[in-house]
């Protein structure tokens, strides 16, 4: 066994490293994706918790003249 390892040390170490990388790719990527999506959800939730900032942001995007806030959504109604 010692002779086999001494003659093929590079192959054995390379194969072992390949196995380790493969296992990390299989098991770590889903965990990293879940971690990233949880962080994104926390960020979006924080933005919605700060309602004034969101309202101000939309007021800047849609100026007062074009805003439909407070108007009826039904175009046939007479306000």
Per-residue pLDDT band for 13 (boundaries 50, 70, 90) equals: very high
Sequence-ordered list of residues with C-beta below 8 angstroms from that of 53, at least 6 positions apart, any chain: 47
Q: Is the dihedral of CA 59, 64, 70, 71 positive or negative?
A: negative
Q: What is the pLDDT of residue 66?
A: 58
| pTM of the predicted model over 0.95 | no
Over residues 19-58, the pLDDT tens digits come to 999 998 888 888 889 999 999 988 888 877 776 666 777 7
């Amino acid at each position: 066994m010692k002779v086999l390892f001494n003659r093929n040390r590079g192959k054995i170490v390379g194969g072992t490293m390949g196995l380790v990388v493969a296992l990390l790719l299989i098991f770590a990527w889903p965990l990293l994706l879940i971690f990233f999506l949880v962080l994104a959800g926390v960020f979006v939730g924080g933005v919605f918790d700060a309602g004034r900032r969101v309202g101000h942001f939309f007021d800047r995007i849609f100026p007062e003249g074009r805003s439909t806030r407070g108007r009826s959504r039904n175009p046939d109604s007479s306000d």
